[in-house]
Copies of this chain bind each other. A is one copy, B any other.
């Protein structure tokens, strides 16, 4: 048996943390995997040098995950077609708005029978077609089976080897073992299940709730209020998933991708930071001074907040299906991001939540 060749499509903070894990795991299991892992890096110039060159010399993504060494068998390449060439397992870890165009570039180069694995949080919104799962876009564009990996995995903590769990979902049980072996480490505990769409839905929706948690933090509320936002958010995540996927399977919400990722996101996530910053920014600069693009520049050093985009995708779906009144938390968060609602009125939007009707 020849070892599987693995490629990484994407190299942000999370992509680099995953590159660290995957790089070492393929090295330690030569009977299962090829040693070389190509990693597609969107080329940038950092202090006059190419980011790919820096990564390949210093074995560190100095821009998005500084101070963390990536195994030298992970090779950064600026060409996505080169990266995916001959790969058996393609790990996608890009901002969700770039997935479709990236897949279209790759389409002719992907090996038939390859397995995709998406770590991407969000939906793809196409004018006239509504929202679609990222894994379906990958599957349909590349004609490959696509699994997902989601969990309570704040990237910098994973990179620091702090104990955590994750959830992989793959329809085909034959791939469960190899996926587990590609990612499992003593500090990164993998559970593999089958419900791909359910896991992916959790991973997208929790980012919206994270903004809500940040808003209550910014407003000075305590742990009870935040717990209520997390629970009401979870209820809306479950209801949305049920309607959107036509699925009654709630077990996925008990996995790491569900409640655990939601809790981590609402306490240490990037979108929580955004919610808090929106309130603080409003206090400092007034309502007209709140600008999400500006906050991204100030807080994220070039990374983006995925939450507002996802909130818009959900809002569009709910509006099209005439269901806005059943999702007051999602709707309020979208409208706060678009400055239609003052964040100080957030709690008012939750007071008579459908969940409180006896």
Contact = CB atoms under 8 A, between A and B. Distances in A.
A231 B164 CA distance: 10
Interface in A234-268: 234-235, 238, 250, 254-256, 259-261, 263-264, 267-268
A180 B358 contact: yes
Number of copies: 2
Interface in A154-181: 154, 157-158, 160, 162-165, 176-177, 180
A153 B347 CA distance: 16
Contacts of A260: 227-228, 230-231
Interface string A190-229: 1110000000000000000000000000000111111110
User: Chain A at the B interface: mostly helix, strand, loop or mixed?
Assistant: helix
Contact of A350 (B163, B223, B235, B259): B163
A67 interface: no
For A160, A186, A222, A351, which residue has the most chain B Cβ atoms within 10 angstroms? Answer: A222
A81 to B, nearest CB: 34
A356 B264 contact: no
B267 A267 contact: yes
A225 B263 contact: no
A152 interface: yes
A100 interface: no
Contacts of A186: 351
A224 B152 contact: yes
A115 B329 CA distance: 36
Nearest to A353: B189
Given A152-B228, A176-B358, 5 more contacts: A158-B224, A165-B231, A165-B232, A227-B261, A231-B259
